[in-house]
Amino acid sequence: MPASTIDPRPTGDPTSVGAPSPTKAIGRAAAAAVGLTTVWAVLAGATEHHFAFASLIVGLLLARVLTSTSARRAWFPPLAAALAFGVGWCGDVLGVGLDLNWRYEVPLGVVADHFGELFDNVSASHSFMDYLFFVLAAVCAAALTASRQATGADPFTRPPRLDRRAADTCPEPSAPRRP
């Protein structure tokens, strides 16, 4: 084999040819975060409620999306934590902005002009429990991401069980029958 076709880098090197790129995982996680933030904002704006407890589900979903590819990086758990915290936080801020527009007919341009004040007021209105759920969501997202990267196992799925009835109906390989 000619020397020019041999890749001198070891196969475990993340820069080696054929190694999974983290770009796909990051793109999926960012798209999921934007989608979840949008859903959160619409729900919060339409109902005038904070859904901080739902941030735990958001954190778990983001961790699953981030680890859905075979790319593994040490900074994926902190990224999952930041995205999980950000979805809840930004979803609440955007939800209040939508609520101002829908219920009180404040134009979105005015809401955008005063976004800093809106952000400060929503941040001040969060209770200890809101912050606790946001932080727990971040911790869950980071832990699940790290766990799935280390073991490759998904704690929310079980291995398929052997169905005894199906096993009884399947013929086992045996020696040929003699007449």
pLDDT of residue 177: 63
Rounded to an integer, what distance in angstroms lies between the CA atom of residue 106 and that of residue 122? 17
- The string of DSSP codes covering 28-79 is HHHHHHHHHHHHHHHHHHHH----GGGHHHHHHHHHHHHTSSS---TTHHHH
Question: Cα angle at 54 between 133 and 95, to 5 degrees?
Answer: 95
CA distance to 17, 24, 102, 161, 174, per residue, from 53 (Å) = 43, 29, 24, 33, 57
pLDDT of 11 above 90: no
Instruction: State residue 140 phi and psi, 5-degree precision.
Output: -60, -45
Tokens of 36: 């979840």
pLDDT digits (tens, 9 = 90+) for 47-74: 988 888 899 999 999 999 988 888 888 9
Confidence of residue 179 (pLDDT cuts 50, 70, 90): low
Mean pLDDT of the chain: 82
- The string of DSSP codes covering 99-138 is HHHHHH---HHHHHHTHHHHHHHHHHH--HHHHHHHHHHH
Q: CB neighbours (10 Å) of residue 68? A: 15
- The string of DSSP codes covering 13-33 is -TTSTTPPPHHHHHHHHHHHH
pLDDT digits (tens, 9 = 90+) for 129-154: 999 999 999 999 999 999 888 887 76
pLDDT of 161 above 80: no
pLDDT digits (tens, 9 = 90+) for 18-49: 557 888 889 999 999 999 999 999 999 999 88
Neighbour-count burial of 19, counting CB atoms closer than 10 A to its CB (0-12 exposed, 13-18 middle, 19+ buried): middle
pLDDT of 9 above 50: no
Q: What pTM did the predictor assign?
A: 0.74
Confidence of residue 118 (pLDDT cuts 50, 70, 90): very high
| 86 against 71, higher pLDDT | 86
Confidence of residue 6 (pLDDT cuts 50, 70, 90): very low
Q: Are residues 139 and 82 in contact, defined by beta-carbon separation less than 8 angstroms?
A: no
pLDDT of 87 above 90: yes
pLDDT of residue 51: 82
Q: Closest Cα partner for 96 from 69, 78, 114?
A: 114
